Amino acid sequence: MNEKDITIHPTAEIADGAQIESGVSVGQYSIIGPQVSIRKETQIDSHVYIEGKTVVGKNCHIFSFCTVGTEPQDVDYKGEETQLQIGDNNTIREFVSIHRGTKKGGGITTIGDGNYIMAYSHIAHDCHVGDKTVFINAASLSGHVTVHDHATVGGFTGVHQFCRIGKHAFVGGYSAITQDVLPFSRVAGNRPLLLYGLNAIGLRRAGFSRERINEIKQIFNIFFYSNLNTADAVKQIKKDIPSGEDRDEILKFIQLSSRGIVKKPSEQWERRSD
C-alpha cells in the first residue's frame, strides 16, 4: 500500500487495523472501523459510517450518510462476529443502510458486483444480492432475502423475510413482496401482489434474442395460464421445452421455493394472454 495514493480527510476517523488500499478516498467526518477492508479505487464520501467485519470491493462509490456493516436488526443477535461482503463497482447512494449477517442466518450478508442501490434503500441481515441489480429509492429487503442478477426492485417496495427475486425480474414500486418472484417476470402491487407477465422490455435491453424471449413466454404460458398445479406444470415444461439455460433457471427456482411463487395475474395481463 502506497499511502501517497490514499486520500483521507483530516476529520475522518480510520481505526487501527482497518485495511485501506491504494486509490481509496475517505471524505469529511466518515468513520471506518478496525475490521473494515476497503479495496482499491473506492470512494467514500463524507459522513459515512462503516464498521464490523466488512469488505468493500474495488471501485465502489459510497455516498454521504450511509451506514454499512452495522449490527443486524435481530432481537436474537448477541454480538457474534458476523460479516458483510460487498463486491466491486457498486454505487451506494445517500442514506442507504446495509447490515451484516447473523449467526443463525449463515453469518454473512453479500452484495455482488455492479449494483446500483439508490437513496434510502435498506439491505438487512443475511441477504444475498447478485450482480447488476438496481434498487430504486427506499427499496427495502427484510432479513434472509435473495435478489438474483439483473433484477430491479422498485421504489418504496418492501420484501418479506426469506423471499427470493429471480434473475431479470422487475418489481414495481410501492409493492409488498410476500412470495418468490419468478425469473424474467414482472410483478407489482400489494393486497394483492399481482403478476404482469414477462419482463420483455428488460430482457430486450439485456440483449435477449426474440427466439429466447419467445421460449420464456412458452414456459410462462404453461406455468401461469394452463390451469395446471405447480407439479404438473413443471412436468409439462420439461416435456415441451428442451433443456437450456433459461428453462433450467426457472425450474431450479421453482424447485427451491419455500414461500410459493407470485402467480395471481392482473386483469390487464389476463386480457393480453387470451
List the catalytic residues. 125-126, 143
CA distance 150 to 120: 20
CA distance 8 to 14: 9
Strand partners for 30: none
Look-up of cell digits 409488498: 176
Judge residue 116's burial from the number of C-beta atoms within 10 Å of its C-beta, 0-12 exposed, 13-18 middle, 19 or more buried.
Answer: middle
CA distance 185 to 257: 15
CA distance 229 to 130: 30
Amino acid identity at 174: Y
CA distance 156 to 218: 32
Count Cβ neighbours within 10 Å for each residue of 148-176 and write b for 16 or more, e otherwise.
bbbbbbbbebbbebebbbbbbbbbbeebe
